[in-house]
Structure 1
Amino acid sequence: MIALIQNELMKIFGKMASWIYMIIIVLAVLIAGIIYMKFSGEPNPNWREDIQAEIHMLENQLPSAPEEEKPFIQTQIDQNQEYLDKDIDPTAKTNWHFMNEVVIGVSSLVTLFVVIVGSANVAAEFSDGTIKQLLIRPHRRWSILLSKYIAVIIYALLLVATLVVSGYIIGLILFGSGDFNMKIFEVTLEGRKEAIVGTQFFLKMLYYLPSLLVIMTIAFMLSTLFKSQALAVGIGIFVLFFSSTLGGIILMLADKYVWAKFLIFPHLDLTVYALQDRILEDITLPVSLSILALYYAIFMIITFFFFQKRDISI
């Protein structure tokens, strides 16, 4: 099995595109860092005095403000006071702020490249006409397919590592070394949540991995179902880009239709659980993980069953 995995990794890294994807991730992090540095403003060492002055100004405006504006002004006062009470600098910009706010966003590129590689992994063997040479080896079909799957997982993890390492290094260069334990406010649907900036980044990355695995598995399944590499990749990218849209629509239907909660799309982005405890009233992280695990098992069964029975004529 190890030899098969090594062979599949050689195939993946034998393609120039696999290296280009890594370079694109590093460049994307760098460009995002420059944009973030340019438009996010400079840290303000006198932020407490400025916030206190702003609170005083808003309090003076409040009595004479129109009734419809008073709730908004009071909310601003309360939020500013909370910065002071919690000792949270809203102007802070360190490498960990960059990682938590920007690098996490670049992870969508990792998912895209994993979908492309996973979708093409088996379909390319049919498109290139090499599937027969692959299956006449003295190995069972399932072991050949499993080695391909593991190789894609390893490549996906390498892309994630490239994202995290490049993000940390670029963050150090652009913003300097910040306090891992610095407190921040995260905006959620339920208001603002106090968090530790470094912990929050790794929590989001941890919740990102199951979603990446499931989306990669969907792409890999499509690769075994279609002989056309272009078709497999196209459908894989379609699923990736429309999953969030479909998830939002299904969540709106969930209040009316109970079965909608058990569709896969609302559960594909687990990073929301780094910001809030539940998607809906009765949908929490353990529920989402259980639903993803069920779909994952179904996708794997379909993938290996279909490949075992598939006609290899080309």
Structure 2
Amino acid sequence: MFSLIKNEMVKIFAKKANWIYILILILAVVIGGIIQQKIYGEPSDNWREETQTELNQLKKDLEAAPNEDKEWIMEQIQQKQRYLDENINPNAVSNWHFMNGTVIGMTMLVTLFAVIVSSASVSSEFAEGTIKQLLIRPHQRWVILLSKYISVLIYSIVLLIVLIISGYIVGLILFGSGDFNAKIFETTLDGQQKLAVVGTQFFLKVMYYIPSLLIIMTIAFMLSTLFKSQALAVGIGIFVLFLSSTIGGVIVLLAEKYTWTKFLIFPHLDLTVYALQEKILQDVTLPMSLIILAVYYIIFLLITFTFFQKRDISI
């Protein structure tokens, strides 16, 4: 098995495109860091005085504001006051703030590249006419397929590690070493402000992101075994990736009326929401989401390996 995995890893890294994906990740982090630095600039040391001045002005504005604007101004006043009460600089920027915001946002690139590589893993063997040479080896089909699956999984994790390391280095260079335990306010899906620790929040989001990456990568790998056309497998894989977030949002709205929708996979594909709040639907918590994803994961793997075992490999 180890030799098969090693051979598949050699195949992956022999393709220039897979190295280009890594370079794109690093470049995106650098560009994202530069843009963030230009937008936010250097945080002010007199932030308390500035925040207090803004707070006083908002209180004056509230007295003269029309009724339709008073609710929004009150929310702003409460937010400014929370910054002062918790001693949180609203404009603070450090490497950990950069990691928790910009770098986490770039995990979408990791997912995209993982989907492309996974979708092409088996279908490319058919497209290039090498599938017969692959299967004449003295190994069972499922072992060969498993080695391919493990190799794309390893590549996906490599992409994530590259993103985290490059993000930390770029953040360190551009924003300096910040306090891992610095407090921040995060906005939940319903607009509430949650007090959190910036470093802990970053690693929570990464931890919650990994199951989503695994599931989407597995779907792409399944498509790779179902279609002989590499272009079709990759195209459908990317389509599913970008459609999943839209469908997930629609299902969240429908869940209030149709309770069965919470068992569909789409609302559970973004577990990073649990870093902000305890529930994503009325009674859906993290353990339930993980159980639902695990069921779908097993189903996808069963379809993948069963189909490949019985597939006609004639080209």
In the TM superposition, 1:42-191 aligns within 5 A as 42-190=42-190, 191=192
Which ranges of structure 1 fall in alignment gaps of 5 or more residues? none
Q: Give the 4+ runs in structure 1 shifted more than 4 A.
A: none
Q: TM-score, normalising length from structure 2? A: 0.98
Secondary structure of 2:187 counterpart: strand
- Structure 1: how far apart are the matches of 2:159 and 2:61? 51
Post-superposition offset of 1:51: 1.0
2:22 aligned partner: 22
Post-superposition offset of 1:162: 0.3
- Structure 2: how far apart are the matches of 1:176 and 1:74? 35
1:179-231: CA deviations, max 9, x gaps?
11100000113400000111111110110000000000000000000011010
| 1:165 alignment partner AA | I
Q: TM-score, normalising length from structure 1? A: 0.98
| 2:142 alignment partner AA | W
1:250 aligned partner: 251
CA RMSD in angstroms comes to 0.9
Post-superposition offset of 1:270: 0.6
Post-superposition offset of 1:44: 1.0
Secondary structure of 1:232 counterpart: helix
- Structure 1: how far apart are the matches of 2:170 and 2:97? 12
Post-superposition offset of 1:254: 1.3
The aligned length equals 314
- 1:278 is the counterpart of 2:260: no
Secondary structure of 2:64 counterpart: coil
2:288 aligned partner: 287
- Structure 1: how far apart are the matches of 2:200 and 2:264? 30
Post-superposition offset of 1:61: 2.7
- Structure 2: how far apart are the matches of 1:19 and 1:66? 57
Are 1:41 and 1:91, in contact at CA under 8 Å, matched by a contact in 2?
Answer: no
1:205 aligned partner: 206
Aligned residues with identical type, % of pairs:
68
2:194 aligned partner: 193
1:262-313: CA deviations, max 9, x gaps?
1111111111111111111111111111110000000000000000000111
Post-superposition offset of 1:60: 2.4
Secondary structure of 1:82 counterpart: helix
| 1:237 alignment partner AA | I
